Every structure is written in C-alpha cells, then in structure tokens.
Amino acid sequence: MMYNLISHTSRKVKTILTLLVFLTAAVACDDEENAQKNIVQLAQGNANLSTLVTALTKFPDLVTTLSGNGNFTVFAPTNAAFNDLLEDLEATSLNDVDEDELREILEYHVIATAALEAADLASQG
C-alpha cells in the first residue's frame, strides 16, 4: 500500500510537470477559434490528449460538465502521462483500470475555477 501511495504521488508530480508544459503551449495558442470551443472540444482537437478523451467518454456526466458553461481549469494529462499511469498500475489499457480509480484520477485534474495562471499554481504550494 505504501509503494502504491508513493508511486501514485510520484506519478502525480510527473503528470503535473508534463501538464504545465502542455498548458504553457495551450495558453500561447489563444486564437479566436479555440476561444469558442469548450474543454472537451479542445481536448478532442489535440492528438496528444486522445487517451484523456477516451477516458472521459467512459463518464458521460464528466463530458457534460466539461462541455458546459462552468468555469474549470483542467490539468489535462497527456498520452504520455496515461502511459505512465498504465505502467505503474501494470495495466495494458484504460479498460484494465478500476472505473472508480479512473474517475478519481480525472476529477483530480479539474479545478472548478476560471483559468489559472502559473503564479496562481505556485501560490497553491
């Protein structure tokens, strides 16, 4: 259990670092077309987030929420982050991951607030 906790924490740190790189690139691409898309549509348009899209489709309520008008910041795990997760869980696909655990992982990456700036993340400590 302790290994799982350490592994899970390490995985989260790697995922967050990968995400920060992705978010930096995503913020730099703030064009008018993307401003009209919701979070799910933006993820669907990025090949590096295809595993995230697959994971989200397992939970229609999450898709509905992230497609709605609420203010959310999503630390979108990349395909590489999901590959690390599968390796850590000794799973070969998302279908091998317990649905409750997968949902918890997805929800962990969402904050119910408007877009955060890098300085906001640093202050979260």
Identify any residues that bridge with 111 across adjacent strands, giving them in sequence order. Answer: 73
Query: Contact, 39 vs 67, CB < 8 A?
Result: yes
d(CA 38, CA 56): 14
* Backbone dihedral angles phi then psi of residue 49, each to the nearest 5 degrees: -115, 20
102 phi, psi to nearest 5 deg: -65, -45
Domains of the chain: 2-123 (2.30.180)
Structure-token match 């978010």, residue found: 23
d(CA 27, CA 59): 26
Segment 54-63 shows an average pLDDT of 95
- DSSP 8-state symbol, 74: E
Question: Token pair of 36, please?
Answer: 């009209």
d(CA 40, CA 28): 18
* pLDDT tens digits for range 35-55: 688 889 999 999 999 999 999
Supply the pTM of this predicted model.
Answer: 0.68
pLDDT digits (tens, 9 = 90+) for 70-102: 888 888 999 999 999 999 999 999 999 999 999
